[in-house]
Amino acid sequence: MSKLKLLFLQTSFISLGIFFGVGLTNLIMHFCGKTYIVEWYFLLSVILAGVLCSLPSLILYAEKIKPFFIKIIIHFCTLFAAVSLLGWLFNWYTELMGYAIVMLIFIFVYIFVWLVTKWIYIKEDKEINNALNSIRDDE
Domains of the chain, residue spans: 3-138
How far, CA to CA in Å, does 7 sit from each of 19, 20, 55, 111, 125?
A: 18, 20, 7, 16, 19
What global pTM score does this model have?
0.80
pLDDT for 39? 82
Q: What is the pLDDT of residues 67-100, one digit of tens each?
A: 888 889 999 999 999 999 999 999 888 889 989 9
